[in-house]
Chain A
């Protein structure tokens, strides 16, 4: 079997946070705490989780924008090291959430898109304007906008510029970190469709990060659910929504506001996610979990295949919770 495009093996990224105001004592915060997954060529892996679960840190760490604390990232079967990360810059790119902070405020659009071409000496210098115009057309922007400053474009247009910048180096993988979360619904749908078109046209793989479960399902082939620095479940997109295995996934899905349901059968998660600097012992979800048993406080469940193609990190992945809501029924 061919090596997957991207393989992440037991990736860790820990920060040290100072705890005492004067004492200078510090504590390790495991923002990413042992994450493993693969992404195939042309595949979209969705990554969902709530704020503070470590999904953005994961994105930056696997692109070596921040150094990993431990673990391996393999690109095309080849282990990446910080020294070899430079080769990654031509094969993997990132698109950010906020179209207002992700573009340099005082650089014209044409220049922003020329930068990757100049840095990597892609094509002739004389060809750069043509290539920039090509990139802009590729993402549905008029090449006339090349002379604009980011401030002069709308949020949707700016996000297209961010996507074009990522495309400039002709990458195989794009990490989209909440790339549509700050857009209005009507514009968001345009960008989601654009990302799908580009995927088909350029055989792109995406790591599509979002907190919006509807958006993630729409975009992804497979979906990984993250909680407190760990992946707790990975499944094919449709399977995850029809039969979530991990109790956290179930709670997450039942919290989604939903056009066709009016508040029926919702798992009320009480409390808030724990402080990442002080993760609970055992399964980190146990203090909020409706299925929790004594074993959950002691043993950390590993990701394990419970059903064909279905992995979850839970001791009781196949049990029903006491207040099981009806599963998502497809269609209107």
Chain B
């Protein structure tokens, strides 16, 4: 259950995650899951029979017809439609007993479930939110109860009762169920109460009770229906078990368990008698569990997450002359990446082209949703499913990475191409020591003898500025700070002596002093090794300081590219200009008003025609709203995708 409590890290731009509010939305979401539909249909049928038992049942379930006992069902020899499923040893109609049995079994299970879930929700919420002694007492109570064999207790209590009504069974089965709910609700409430929105509620003066009921409760109750469905299946079986053992409803009141028990006595003569109630229980519990699966999906859509998968594409290969001698290390041409989902397609990357020379450092800078990380991930072919490259080429060392086989791509990855990510701790394996992981990396690429492997590991850690590499090699990722882990990642990536290193926001999670240390090491290391570096960041100041060339991205396109000095000193695209002016720079006087870019970042799922920056652009012209501009040369090796710099316009202005 712990996976329900831990929430996945939220990406910055998140698709709308609709709350299961209206029942229509509920059914729309369920429609995608066939098994859940089967469950709901089965459950509805059983409920229908239970509710309308008096109409469904052809006879009174208690009426005995001793003249026709143990009549077989209609399909067997001697069966008839008077008793469609035959009769039992006392000549009672089996259809009627099953229908009324469904009513009793379900009534007991549903009521017991309701009692348990409400009790569990209230106690779990109180224990988790209020904590302290109340929490300790409730949870110890739960531990004691769980340590005690529950069915034994139920039998003892029910055994001493002279007459067992439905209410008795409901209480005996329902009350002990609280702990299942309480534990999960408690752990959710415990996590939820620390969240900023609950602290904010305290800050605006909301008291404990208000925070608990209005803020925490709406975020935690969703776990209850899912557990309740599973609990319901369990309770139906439990009720049947008790009835079967003779501790259920006082005879002759029917329930599935008692019908089963009656049937068992005549199993040899009439094998269908125990089979039919057994089938009823099976179908019901199965339907409930399928429904519960669907509900879990509905209330926790994160469980349905895609995995890394490379979708091999059969793209037409454009005619391309063989690469000349002076080819750049990497050439990305008109790359397009799409993420199809729910009928609409998000164009994450829309025609990106750039080149990277040997030993060069290229910065890709952009805000969230600009497509900078997607571009990087498509180079290593690690796009998150369902993302796929739909057009373009990525030429690296004479091959097109979009079209080569998985096996060859895997050989390149971590070999000639290495990549490091924002969160190093999640890229390292938590159960192996740093030394083990370093040695693995070195062996995979270098094939050295054991002693030299250890020395090499130590040496590469020293190269990234780790003063006592031998101690770090013995440690595990969780024992190191984020900065140390990132150094280890860099060291590991460099063990393969890659031609290309891609660093995706490598220091965004780190402090500014650590960031400076790491980026300087990274720069020294890539320079010494002649490694080309693609440095992806949202921070244009880092680009200014650490890169040779820069590509500024906006809405999946490169809007300006050129030598870093030239782009920073003379930005030509209005977005680049605005970006530079909206950064609060420490070298400007305190308190000045920033030139903010008006409006919101574009929605990558909606791509109106024309220049994507047009709605926010201070220099927008009519043409910008209809025609997406090409990249025009504005200075040596410096291009801007803006109509202001189209040759026609610059000529007109010159004249």
List the interface of chain A (C-beta within 8 A of B).
Answer: 50-51, 60, 63, 65, 86, 89-90, 93-94, 96-98, 100-107, 115-116, 119-120, 149, 151-152, 154-157, 162, 165-166, 168-169, 182, 184-190, 192-193, 196, 211-215, 217-221, 236-238, 241, 251-263, 266, 268-273, 328-332
Contacts and interface: CB of A to CB of B under 8 A. Distances in A.
Nearest to A261: B545
Contacts of A106: 19, 218-219
Interface stretch (B39-47, B252-260, B492-500, B592-600): B592-600
B486 to A, nearest CB: 12
Given A237-B590, A328-B586, A89 B203 contact: yes
Contacts of B52: none
Contacts of A236: 590
The A interface, classified by DSSP as helix, strand, loop or mixed, is loop
A189 B596 contact: yes
Interface in B449-467: 467
A188 B596 CA distance: 8
B517 A269 contact: yes
A95 to B, nearest CB: 8
Interface stretch (B91-99, B275-283, B439-447, B536-544): B536-544
Contacts of A257: 512, 515-516, 539, 541-542, 544-546
Interface stretch (B306-314, B326-334, B577-585, B625-633): B577-585
Given A96-B200, A100-B14, A192-B584, A263 B520 contact: yes
The size bracket of the interface on B is: 35 or more
B76 interface: no
B586 A221 contact: no
14 contacts: A65-B199, A86-B205, A93-B203, A94-B199, A94-B200, A100-B14, A166-B204, A184-B368, A186-B596, A189-B584, A192-B596, A241-B586, A259-B544, A259-B568
B320 interface: no
Contacts of B568: 259
Q: Which 4 A-B pairs have the closest CB atoms?
A: A237-B590, A189-B596, A189-B582, A218-B584
B199 A100 contact: no
Given A186-B578, A257-B545, A272 B590 contact: no
A259 B155 CA distance: 77
Given A193-B596, A328-B586, A102 B205 contact: no
B541 A115 contact: no
Interface string B182-224: 0000000000000111111111111000100011001100000
B26 to A, nearest CB: 15
B204 A115 contact: yes
Given A189-B584, A220-B590, A266-B516, A152 B16 contact: yes
Contact of A258 (B13, B198, B544, B590): B544
B291 to A, nearest CB: 23
Interface of B: 10, 12-14, 16-19, 195-206, 210, 214-215, 218-219, 367-368, 467, 481, 483-484, 511-517, 520, 538-542, 544-546, 568, 578-580, 582-598, 600-601, 616
Contacts of B538: 184-185
A104 B197 contact: yes
A186 B514 CA distance: 25
B540 A259 contact: yes
Contacts of B481: 272
Nearest to B215: A104
A157 B13 CA distance: 13
A331 B597 CA distance: 21
A103 B197 contact: yes
Contacts of B541: 214, 256-259
A196 to B, nearest CB: 7
Contact of A151 (B16, B201, B520, B539): B16
Given A102-B200, A241-B587, A253-B586, 4 more contacts: A50-B514, A154-B600, A166-B204, A256-B512
Contacts of A188: 582, 584
Contacts of A220: 590-591
A101 B202 contact: no
Contacts of A151: 14, 16-19
A229 to B, nearest CB: 16
Contact of A119 (B205, B467, B514): B205
Nearest to B482: A51
Given A151-B16, A187-B600, A255-B515, A115 B201 contact: yes
Contacts of B517: 268-270
Contacts of A190: 596-598
Contacts of B542: 257
A326 to B, nearest CB: 11
Contact of B513 (A115, A263, A269): A269
B203 A115 contact: no
A196 B593 contact: yes
Contacts of A272: 481, 483-484, 514
